Amino acid sequence: MLACNWDAAPDENQDSGEHKIKITTTVNMVSDLVRQIGGEHVEVVEIMGPGVDPHLYKASANDVAKLQKADVIFHVGLLLEGKLEEVLGKLKAGGKPVYAVTENIDTTRLLKPDEFEGHFDPHIWFEVPLWKETIDVVVAGLSQLDPDHKTDYKANGNSTKARMDELHQWAETKGAEIPLDKRILVTSHDAYNYFGRAYGFKVVGLQGISTVSEAGLADRTKLVDFIKLQKVKAIFVETTVNPEAIKAIAADAGVKVGGELFSDAMGERGQMEGKLDLGTYEGMIRHNLTTIVNALR
């Protein structure tokens, strides 16, 4: 049974007196995932909010407290949260349930670009069918901790999978609005390799560009030449990366900045763009693709 070891006040919106599972997550894509699957049975606290770069993030004392208080911890893994690995490892060694949601993904489906120096590319959430593979880890983790509600977790997992299938189909159709030879995505960092593979975009990231793309695109000048040569209409900044370099390149190449893309964090929950909640996984995917397609059209 679930041991409720938090010092929280009793839940006001629960008449059964049932304790919710305290989940601590790292990035907000994982928060959305565990909320979808845990539903009413969980309470989610996250360490990194909107606009935070997980590659560089170091745990504060407050973060460590959030991790220690959790009944269970979910994170992306694949070294996305590189500087948290040590603290997560220690908690796991001490008996805390800690799950990397990517831990069961078939590694033959993962990319290993040169710039990741022998590691897998962790940005799998941009290929929707691959992110769908993380659902079973959450369902299993919550069911193990709270077997009384395992049928709920299973059902929520299945409905989340169905929504991701729909989202993937939408994304394929949306991407296809741009002719294949015009599907070129130039951004700040190399977060979109899976996106490119899934939806037919050639992806050129400024950070790590010398190995992401054709040989020779080694510096900003060459990126400017590439943009001109390929007649790329727009390039993109990211919410978690300083936009200045991309803005300078856009000015030099005489193209527009096509908008701001979410890369390693989603928006704030309840941050609406039309009907899209940018603080959800679905909102993030739809915002990015719509922004890209509108700017390249």
Q: How far is CA 136 from its chain centroid?
A: 17
CB of 96: closest distance to Zn ion in angstroms? Answer: 26
What is the x/- site pattern for Zn ion, positions 24-63, by CB under 5 A? ----------------------------------------
Nearer CB in complex with Zn ion: 80/289? 80
d(CA 67, CA 92): 11
Restricting to residues 173-192, name those near Zn ion by CB under 5 A: 191
* Shortest reach from residue 165's CB to Zn ion, in Å: 25
Q: Whole-angstrom Cα distance, residue 280 to residue 167?
A: 12
Regarding 264 and contact with Zn ion (CB under 5 A), the answer is: yes
CB 110 within 8 A of CB 121: yes
Residue type, 127: E
Number of residues written out for the chain: 297
Q: Between 18 and 53, whose beta carbon lies closer to Zn ion?
A: 53
Pairing mode, if any, of strands 42-46 and 21-25?
parallel
Residue with smaller CB distance to Zn ion, 2 or 278: 278
**Smaller CB separation from Zn ion, 133 or 264:** 264
Write down the least CB distance from residue 38 to Zn ion, Å.
Answer: 26
**DSSP per-residue string spanning 11-73:** PTT-TT-PPPEEEEESSHHHHHHHHHHHGGGEEEEES--TT--TTT----HHHHHHHHH-SEE
Least distance in angstroms from the C-beta of 55 to Zn ion: 5
**DSSP3 helix / strand / coil % (the chain, rounded to 5):** 45, 15, 40
Rule CB under 5 A: is residue 121 a binding residue for Zn ion? no
Q: Does 124 bind Zn ion (CB under 5 A)?
A: no
Q: Which stretch binds Zn ion (CB under 5 A): 40-48, 70-78, 224-232, 259-267?
A: 259-267
Closer to Zn ion by CB, 76 or 191: give it: 191
Can you list the positions of beta strands (E) in the chain?
21-25, 42-46, 72-75, 98-100, 184-187, 202-205, 234-238, 256-261, 272-273, 276-277
Give 39 or 208: the residue with its C-beta nearer to Zn ion: 208
**Least distance CB 141 / Zn ion (angstroms):** 24
Q: How far is the CB of 183 from Zn ion (least distance, A)?
A: 21
145 vs 203, which CB is nearer to Zn ion?
Answer: 203
| C-beta neighbour count of 293 within 10 angstroms | 17
CA distance 139 to 142: 5
Cβ of residue 175: shortest distance to Zn ion, in angstroms? 21
Question: How large is the angle between the packed helices 28-38 and 281-296, nearest 10 degrees?
Answer: 130
Q: In this chain, which stretch among 56-64, 229-237, 263-271, 282-290 interacts with Zn ion, using CB under 5 A? A: 263-271
How many chain residues interact with Zn ion (CB under 5 A)? 2
Q: Catalog residues that contact Zn ion under the rule CB under 5 A.
A: 191, 264
